[in-house]
């Protein structure tokens, strides 16, 4: 069987001057070629030594990963070095030792790195396989040729500030050598300014699920306490142990460990006061009070019950909510809001719900003031039991009215506050998809919510993106602009546990409106105001001070609101372990990038973040790593490591609707040169909303309908061909030979049929509104969608979804794919709907420019 290999690069023009940015077809790969790739893979150079050395001081970890490879063959071999690192870490150094020489990479501005070797994009890319994945992680990969009977060594350094969660710090080290290694050494040094409370190593993890401690995965690490503030942890599994761990982690024994080694620890601290470390003009302020009574809270749970939540997702939400409700304290109150096409506020006492149709796109919030909605209920045992009964009644149906649901949640909070509530409000918003009802533009939703929230009481909104279909970037921005943060819930057997773990982190607010106050001579300070402090976490502020032996911090304070009123806490000064400058640079860059993400004008923040990234050699969102190798220099970046990838940029992508071999390059970076080119790759998730689908025609498989097709529009197929418009509406349609997967001139006579995707897959909102008999209720009747039917377009119409083309004809939805991107929900479709032969639901389809 033949496969098709695509490579995503900056912009490549194909066939008849037809250009799709980011898409180039590289041709047909034979079974023999694939077999040769697999054979080459089995003869990879041997990793003779694999070491990870991590040094933690002042909660700041610097980790060095070293891999030594040897090619014992008489032919050159390609060696691929892959490291999975935490998503919050910055790469700061990469060195390769080849032929007795060292080649050190350097950091450049991202666009400059992109242009360094643009010509290399057009070179070939070989294939290899490294199935490596881990949640909340990034992946770094680079490949080189190792000469016969010679060695190469890779050294990668990355740095991160450890975040305190659930009363402990956690260093996660990913071990993925891809083979059993004769000499494997993992060493972690912990050096803190305060005495260590504990140091421990839980069971090895897969990195892709939350699991309980497993005796079979106990690393039996050697933990030595050097003194009260220092410890060293060693993990040196021999060959047999590596095979055992691989088997327990679900890997092939000969592929070695593919998992995470974790070190957990905490320090003794003042029960209320924070600690200040000062050195060489830099300071860091840690604040994690414990001896504080928790704030009573009002929690509004806003839960997505749209059609896409069907099955396991909704079952897992119900399971998690049962546990979460049990964690509410008797001083708390709560609301349960569900949303799909409409909004439902549940009356917990009566276990009934009020239905809200918040669809006014101008000021939907104003409608809520006219409604009598249920009050929040105290979290008594009886109310919690009734709350669980309410959760059990949730059913999936309809579309996704996000804006209406959040506005309703804010209204419920404001209503309680106006009634005199002193509880800390929290909104927990969970969704698995994109908005498809009411206002659907995510930027507009964010602006409206932020305005409403800012005009009132500034309620923290915590967002949970559930599964691959959720828009993580939108929810992150929404929460950051509204005093909260977002978390991604990965689809898997442990999704309910992930939800419970998230709630555990925010279940106990201790302080609100926290402000760190310093004297005027302190400069370049990171974020110093925080809406809430939660038990078990830590707030960190860093900045610069004038170097003076007599420098006084007696007037430094942390002011906040506790359960018993306003408090002011002075810090305790401690002696730091090692330098503080890089910690200051790391946190400053992180926060500038966060501010940049939210800013309308990003120029100044980009410059400030870039200047620091270049000075301290950090690979960030605005900087890239340029790898120097013999006779070659190329740009390399990291990619999301939450899903397995193929190290040679080739990936077999299969679903009920598509099957293909795809190659990717990092967005904003050139594709990797071959054969020596460093490789970086990126997997854009297929998303609905592209203007057409590309029919691949692999053994009758349907074409994909994803983001890589956004640049072009496709007409219905004619004699096995698709007509592709290469420019705007005034350009002519030209043929593409979809069945061969080649865009451009065919190399052989194309087949005469193409299987198109089901209309419910192309327009997913249809699934939630189609009647049981397969008809669609619209325009006063119930009409068939006409899939698989030969129905001619008929009847002129003058209102098409494409504003640039007013005149059209009534056509089946399946026969007018180039308007699908406009039909984002049922209400939009309704504006352009028409009926064919008094039997079929259609759409006013723009007239197609005739093919020359």
Measuring CA to CA, which residue among 370, 291, 294, 288 is closest to residue 329?
Answer: 294
Query: For residue 684, is pLDDT > 50?
Result: no
Residue 851 inside a domain? The answer is no
- Segment among 117-126, 216-225, 694-703 with least mean pLDDT: 694-703
Say what the pLDDT of residue 761 is. 80
Q: Does residue 55 register a pLDDT over 90?
A: yes
Q: Is residue 754 part of a domain?
A: no
CA-closest candidate to residue 791, choices 747, 845, 744? 845
Identify any residues that bridge with 574 across adjacent strands, giving them in sequence order.
277
Q: Quick one: 719 and 784 in the same domain?
A: no
Nearest-angstrom CA–CA distance, 87 and 642:
10
| 647 vs 32, more confident | 32
d(CA 582, CA 592) in angstroms, rounded, equals: 15
- Nearest Cα neighbor of 80 from 683, 675, 666 is 675
E-only strand ranges, 503-649: 509-517, 529-534, 539-544, 557-562, 565-569, 572-574, 623-629, 632-636, 639-640
Greatest CA separation for the chain: 90
Are residues 577 and 688 both part of a single domain?
A: no
In the structure, what pLDDT confidence band is assigned to residue 691 with cuts at 50, 70 and 90?
very low
Asked whether the beta carbons of 57 and 578 are under 8 A apart, the reply is yes
Residue 100 has a pLDDT of 86
Pair (499, 580) in one structural domain: no
Predicted pLDDT of residue 652 = 30
Which three-class secondary structure state does DSSP give residue 659? strand
> How far is it, in rounded angstroms, from Cα 678 to Cα 141?
7
Query: 622, 639, 656 — which closes off a domain?
Result: 639
| Average of per-residue pLDDT across 359-378 | 73
Strands 297-304 and 424-431: parallel
Torsion of CA 248, 253, 255, 260, to 10 degrees: 20
Each residue of 433-447: pLDDT tens digit? Answer: 899 988 899 999 999
- Mean pLDDT check: name the lowest of 397-406, 629-638, 705-714: 705-714
Angle at 677 between CA 673 and CA 678, to 5 degrees: 125
Indicate whether 380 and 367 sit together in one domain: yes
pLDDT of residue 852: 41
500: CATH: 3.40.50.410
Query: What confidence tier does 12 reach under pLDDT thresholds 50, 70, 90?
Result: very low
Structural domain contains residue 745: no
Q: Is 124 a member of any domain?
A: no
Number of domains within the chain: 5
Contact 179, 44 (CB under 8 A): yes
pLDDT level of residue 827 (50, 70, 90 thresholds): confident
Please name which of 49, 214, 79, 85 lies closest in space to residue 148, comparing C-alpha atoms: 79
Q: Which residue has the higher pLDDT, 11 or 307?
A: 307
Please give the residue that has the higher pLDDT: either 699 or 322: 322
CA dist., res. 89 & res. 86, Å (int) = 5
**Residue in 241, 170, 255 with CA at minimum distance from that of residue 538:** 170
Q: What's the pLDDT at 365?
A: 60
State both tokens at 668. 């904003």
Mean pLDDT of the chain: 78
Find the helix packing angle between 603-616 and 581-598, rounded to 10°. 160
461 alpha carbon, distance to own chain's centre? 18
Task: Region of 668 please: left (phi>0), alpha (psi -120 to 50) or beta.
Answer: left
Choose between 642 and 701: higher pLDDT. Answer: 642
Asked whether residue 75 is assigned to any structural domain, the reply reads yes
Lowest mean pLDDT among 206-210, 474-478, 841-845: 206-210
780-807 pLDDT, tens per residue?
A: 788 888 887 777 777 788 788 887 777 8
Contact at 8 Å (CB) between 257 and 246?
yes
pLDDT at residue 206, rounded to an integer:
85
The reply to whether 89 falls in a domain is: yes
Q: Are 801 and 847 in contact (CB under 8 A)?
A: no
Give the chain's length.
852
Higher pLDDT, 307 or 361: 307
Give 673's DSSP letter: P
- Do 320 and 405 lie in one domain? The reply is yes
Nearest of 733, 751, 657 to residue 702 by alpha carbon: 657
Same domain, 82 and 222: yes
623 close to 607: Cβ distance less than 8 angstroms: no
What per-residue confidence (pLDDT) applies to 786? 87
Whose CA is closest to 652, among 23, 24, 34, 14?
34
Residue 580 pLDDT: 97
What is the pLDDT at residue 831? 84
Distance CA 209, CA 212 (A): 10
Residues 34 and 48 in one domain: no
Bridge partners of 318?
A: none
Full domain range(s) for residue 577 = 44-112+130-273+571-639
Q: How far is 10 from 174, CA to CA, in rounded Å?
A: 31
* Residues whose CB is less than 8 angstroms from the CB of residue 701 and which lie 6 or more positions away in sequence, other chains included: 657, 658, 659, 755
Say which residues have a Cβ less than 8 Å from residue 793's Cβ, sequence separation at least 6. Answer: 809, 810, 811, 812, 815, 836, 842, 845
Q: Which of 468-477, 530-539, 665-674 tops mean pLDDT?
A: 530-539
What average pLDDT score do residues 207-223 get? 82
Beta bridge partners of 776: 783
Report whether pLDDT(711) > 80: no
> Three-state secondary structure along 249-270?
CCCCHHHCCCEEEEEEEEECCC
Give the pLDDT score at 762.
82
pLDDT, average across residues 635-643? 65
Q: Are 779 and 833 in contact (CB under 8 A)?
A: yes
Average the pLDDT over 545-562 and give the result.
90
Beta bridge partners of 56: 61, 190
CA pair distance 357, 300, nearest whole angstrom: 19
Q: What is the Cα–Cα distance from 717 to 755, expressed in whole angstroms? A: 10
Amino acid 712: pLDDT: 32
The 3-class secondary structure across 211-226, one letter per residue, is: CCCCHHHCCCCEEEEE
Cα dihedral sign, 428-433-436-439: positive
Tell me the mean pLDDT in the region 111-139. 54
Domain for residue 125, yes or no? no
When pLDDT is averaged across residues 89-106 and rounded to a whole number, the result is 92
Angle between helices 312-326 and 495-506 (to 10 degrees): 30
Q: pLDDT value at position 360?
A: 54
- Of the pLDDT bands very low, low, confident and very high (cuts 50, 70, 90), residue 847 is confident
Residue 643 is predicted with a pLDDT of 57
Q: Is pLDDT above 70 for 604?
A: yes
Q: Where residue 44 falls among pLDDT bands split at 50, 70, 90?
A: confident
Helix, strand or coil, per DSSP, at residue 68:
strand
Counting residues of the chain whose pLDDT is more than 90, the rounded percentage is 50
Contact predicate 145/78, CB 8 Å: yes
User: Please, are residues 504 and 350 in contact by the beta-carbon 8 Å criterion?
Assistant: no
Q: Give me the percent of the chain exceeding a pLDDT of 70.
A: 75
Q: What is the pLDDT of residue 759?
A: 85
What average pLDDT does range 586-591 have in this prediction? 97
Out of 84-93, 265-274, 290-299, 629-638, which region has the weakest mean confidence (pLDDT)? 629-638
Instruction: Give the three-state DSSP class for 228.
Output: coil
119 pLDDT above the threshold of 50: no
pLDDT digits (tens, 9 = 90+) for 369-393: 777 899 999 999 999 999 999 999 9
Q: Which residue has the higher pLDDT, 79 or 524?
A: 524
Question: What is the rounded CA–CA span in Å between residue 535 and residue 292?
Answer: 9
DSSP 738: G
Cα–Cα separations (whole angstroms), residue 154 to 189, 649, 671, 762, 849? 22, 20, 21, 45, 56
The pLDDT value given to residue 141: 87
Residue 331's pLDDT band, with cuts at 50, 70 and 90, is very high
Among 375, 590, 564, 565, smallest CA distance to 480 is for 590
Which tokens is 503 given?
A: 């709630």
Residue 713 has pLDDT above 50, yes or no: no
- Residue 586: the pLDDT is 98
Measure Cα distances from 291 to 272, 275, 329 in Å.
Answer: 6, 15, 18
Is the CB of residue 278 less than 8 Å from the CB of residue 573? Answer: yes
Q: What is the pLDDT of residues 276-329, one digit of tens each?
A: 999 999 999 999 998 899 999 999 999 999 999 999 999 999 999 999 999 999
* Cis? peptide before 675, omega within 30° of 0: yes
Q: Binning pLDDT at 50, 70 and 90, where does residue 677 land?
A: very low
Question: Does residue 561 register a pLDDT over 50?
Answer: yes
pLDDT band at 776 (very low <50, low <70, confident <90, very high): confident
CB 67 within 8 A of CB 591: no
Q: What is the mean pLDDT of residues 769-785?
A: 82
Same domain, 595 and 659: no
Domain boundary among 639, 661, 678: 639
Same domain, 444 and 387: yes
Same domain, 358 and 474: yes
Q: Mean per-residue pLDDT for 129-146? A: 72
pLDDT of residue 127: 28
User: CA-based angle 757:759:761, to the nearest 5?
Assistant: 70
In this structure, the answer to whether residues 244 and 385 fall within a common structural domain is no
Indicate whether 747 belongs to any domain: no
For 344, 619, 691, 709, the CA distances from 813, given in Å and listed in that order, are 32, 46, 13, 19
Q: Tens digit of pLDDT for each residue in 727-744? A: 333 333 333 333 333 333
What tens digit of pLDDT does each residue of 484-517 get? 999 999 888 888 899 999 999 999 999 999 999 9
Same domain, 622 and 565: no
Q: How far apart, in whole angstroms, are the C-alpha atoms of residue 810 and residue 795?
A: 6
Give the up-direction half-sphere exposure of residue 676: CA atoms within 13 A in the CB hemisphere. Answer: 15
CA gap 754, 713 in Å, rounded: 17
**H-type alpha helices, 30-152:** 31-42, 110-116
User: 11: pLDDT confidence band, cut at 50, 70 and 90?
Assistant: very low
Whichever domain contains 255, its CATH number is 2.60.40
């Amino acid at each position: 069987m033949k496969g098709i290999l695509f490579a995503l690069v900056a912009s490549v023009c194909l066939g008849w001057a037809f250009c799709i940015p980011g898409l180039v077809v590289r041709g047909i790969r034979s079974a023999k070629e694939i077999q040769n790739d697999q054979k080459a893979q089995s003869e990879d150079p041997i990793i003779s030594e694999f070491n990870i050395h991590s040094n933690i001081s002042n909660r700041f970890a610097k980790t060095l990963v070293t891999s030594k490879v040897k090619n014992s063959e008489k032919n050159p071999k390609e060696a691929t070095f892959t490291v999975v690192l935490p998503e919050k870490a910055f790469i700061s150094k990469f060195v390769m030792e080849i032929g007795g020489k060292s080649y050190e990479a350097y950091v450049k501005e991202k666009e400059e790195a992109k242009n360094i070797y643009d010509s290399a994009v057009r070179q070939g890319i070989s294939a290899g396989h490294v199935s490596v994945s881990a949640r909340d992680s990034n992946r770094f990969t680079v490949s080189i040729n190792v000469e016969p009977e010679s060695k190469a060594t890779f050294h990668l350094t990355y740095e991160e500030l450890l975040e305190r969660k659930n009363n402990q710090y956690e260093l996660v080290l990913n071990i993925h050598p891809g083979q059993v290694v004769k000499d494997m050494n993992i060493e972690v040094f912990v050096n803190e300014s305060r005495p260590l409370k504990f140091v421990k190593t839980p069971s090895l993890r897969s990195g892709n699920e939350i699991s309980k401690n497993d005796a079979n995965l106990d690393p039996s690490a050697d933990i030595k306490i050097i003194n009260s503030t220092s410890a060293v942890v060693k993990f040196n599994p021999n060959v047999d142990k590596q095979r055992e761990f691989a088997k327990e982690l679900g890997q092939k024994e000969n592929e070695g460990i593919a998992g995470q080694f974790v070190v957990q620890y905490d320090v003794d601290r003042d029960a209320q006061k924070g600690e200040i470390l000062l050195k060489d003009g830099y300071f860091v302020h840690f604040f994690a009070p414990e001896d504080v009574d928790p704030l009573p809270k009002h929690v509004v749970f806003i839960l997505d019950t749209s059609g896409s939540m069907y099955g396991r997702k909704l079952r897992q939400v119900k399971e998690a909510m049962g546990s979460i409700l049990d964690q509410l304290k008797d001083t708390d109150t709560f609301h349960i809001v569900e949303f799909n096409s409409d909004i439902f506020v549940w009356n917990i006492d009566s276990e009934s719900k009020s239905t809200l149709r918040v669809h006014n796109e101008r000021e939907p919030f104003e409608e809520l003031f006219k409604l009598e909605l249920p009050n929040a209920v105290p979290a008594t045992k009886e109310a919690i039991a009734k709350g669980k009964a309410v959760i059990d009644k949730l059913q999936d149906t309809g579309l996704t009215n996000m804006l209406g649901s959040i506005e309703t949640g804010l209204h419920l909070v404001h209503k309680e506050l106006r009634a005199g509530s002193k509880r800390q409000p929290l909104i927990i918003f969970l969704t698995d998809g994109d908005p498809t009802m009411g206002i659907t533009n995510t930027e507009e939703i964010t602006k409206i919510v932020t305005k409403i929230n800012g005009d009132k009481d500034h309620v923290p909104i915590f967002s949970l993106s559930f599964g691959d279909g959720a828009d993580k970037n939108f929810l992150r921005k929404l929460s950051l602009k509204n005093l909260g943060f977002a978390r991604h819930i990965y689809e898997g057997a442990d999704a309910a546990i992930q939800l419970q773990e998230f709630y555990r982190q925010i279940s106990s607010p201790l302080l609100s409106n926290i402000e760190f106050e310093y004297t005027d001579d302190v400069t370049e300070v990171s974020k110093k105001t925080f809406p809430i402090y939660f038990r078990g976490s830590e707030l960190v502020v860093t900045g610069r001070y004038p170097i003076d032996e007599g420098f006084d911090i007696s007037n430094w304070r942390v002011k906040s609101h506790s359960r018993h009123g306003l408090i002011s806490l002075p810090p305790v000064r401690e002696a730091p372990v090692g330098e503080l400058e890089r910690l200051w640079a790391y946190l400053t860059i992180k926060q500038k990038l966060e501010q940049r993400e939210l800013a309308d004008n990003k120029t100044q923040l980009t410059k400030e973040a870039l200047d620091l990234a270049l000075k301290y050699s950090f690979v960030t969102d605005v900087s890239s790593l340029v790898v120097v190798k013999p006779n070659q220099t190329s740009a390399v970046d990291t990619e999301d490591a939450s899903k397995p990838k193929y190290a040679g940029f080739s990936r077999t992508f299969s679903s009920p609707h598509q099957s293909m071999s795809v190659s990717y390059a990092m967005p904003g970076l050139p594709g990797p040169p071959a054969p020596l080119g460093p490789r970086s790759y990126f997997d854009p998730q297929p998303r609905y909303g592209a203007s057409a689908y590309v029919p691949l025609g692999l053994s009758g498989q349907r074409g994909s309908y994803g983001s890589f097709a956004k640049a072009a529009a496709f007409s219905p197929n004619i004699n096995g061909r698709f007509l592709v418009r290469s420019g705007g509406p005034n350009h002519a349609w030209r043929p593409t030979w979809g069945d061969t997967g080649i865009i451009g001139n065919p190399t052989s006579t194309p087949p005469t049929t193409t299987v198109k995707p089901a209309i419910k897959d192309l327009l997913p909102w249809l699934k939630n509104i189609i009647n049981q008999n397969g008809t669609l209720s619209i325009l006063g009747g119930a009409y068939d969608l006409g899939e698989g039917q030969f129905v001619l377009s008929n009847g002129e119409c003058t209102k098409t979804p494409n504003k640039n083309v007013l005149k059209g004809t009534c056509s089946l939805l399946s026969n007018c794919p180039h308007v699908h991107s406009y039909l984002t929900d049922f209400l939009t479709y309704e504006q352009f709907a028409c009926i064919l032969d008094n039997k079929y639901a259609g759409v006013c389809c723009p007239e197609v420019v005739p093919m020359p």
